[in-house]
A and B are shown apart, each in its own frame.
Chain A
């Protein structure tokens, strides 16, 4: 039997890595990939907890999270394509028009 805390520790580490990728990388596509990593960390927690709680609630929520992640990827990548078409860059530190 695997203790629940192992799953939670894995999820916490994966979430930290996702945060690191989101904050440190310049490429906006890798930043969105890091968001997917964070969503997956949450999914691990959901499925593991609902397994140990004898419930299906977490499983259903995971299904909804996967749905929303797919929608988010479609919309976000569409926005990135527009950004690249207008600005010819995908680096977040080049997009600084609003900076005074």
Chain B
């Protein structure tokens, strides 16, 4: 019962802040409402016994990615943004497409059937602690994808540096 109340609170805040984020005139407000959304997403992960992912969600998403967005917004400072039109001309079509897609996704849900159970029931995860269990999985079954993720981060670092650098004048 308490779990359900917590879920309903988190879900309503997530939907509300997501709607605000795509509707706000000022992009800084949008980014800040997405920040609130990410915190409640971490709350949902806690409800699902995924405390390591909740911590990662706050550290990486709320701490790093959104700060990056805020910095770029300040670099691209747009004073006139709040005064001019924020939607493209065909935004009615966009509304129709997104509502149609959301409704069709919602209607698909009842036909979903769970598959075979895996080998990590909640009791085992809580006994091992979630971080340790994920560490076991990451460094045994998913070792290669883990290394590839490291490579992707390296490419992102180099790419970000190269892209954001000012072009020096060639003599």
Interface residues of A (CB under 8 A from B): 1-2, 4-10, 12-21, 23-27, 29-30, 32-34, 36-37, 40, 43-44, 47-57, 59-60, 62-64, 66-75, 77-82, 84, 90, 92-93
Identify which of B34, B72, B141 contacts A80 (C-beta below 8 A): B72
Minimal Cβ-Cβ distance residue in B for A90: B76
Contact partners of A19 in chain B: CB under 8 A: 94, 97-98, 101-102
Contact partners of B112 in chain A: CB under 8 A: 4-5, 8
- A44 adjacent to B155 (CB under 8 Å): no
A-B contact pairs, 12 of them (CB 8 A): A12-B102, A20-B22, A20-B94, A20-B95, A24-B22, A29-B27, A40-B38, A51-B122, A71-B153, A73-B69, A74-B157, A77-B72
Q: Which of B8-60 contact A (CB under 8 A)?
A: 11, 14-15, 18-19, 21-22, 27, 30-31, 34, 37-38, 41, 44-45, 47-50, 52-53, 56-57, 60
- B4 adjacent to A12 (CB under 8 Å): no
| Alpha-carbon distance between A53 and B105 when the two chains are bound, in angstroms | 21
- A33 adjacent to B86 (CB under 8 Å): no
Interface SS of chain B: helix
Interface residues of B (CB under 8 A from A): 3-4, 7, 11, 14-15, 18-19, 21-22, 27, 30-31, 34, 37-38, 41, 44-45, 47-50, 52-53, 56-57, 60-61, 64-65, 68-69, 72-73, 75-76, 78, 81, 85-89, 91, 93-95, 97-99, 101-103, 105-106, 109-110, 112, 114-122, 125, 130, 133-134, 137-138, 141-142, 145, 149, 152-153, 155-157, 159-160, 163-164
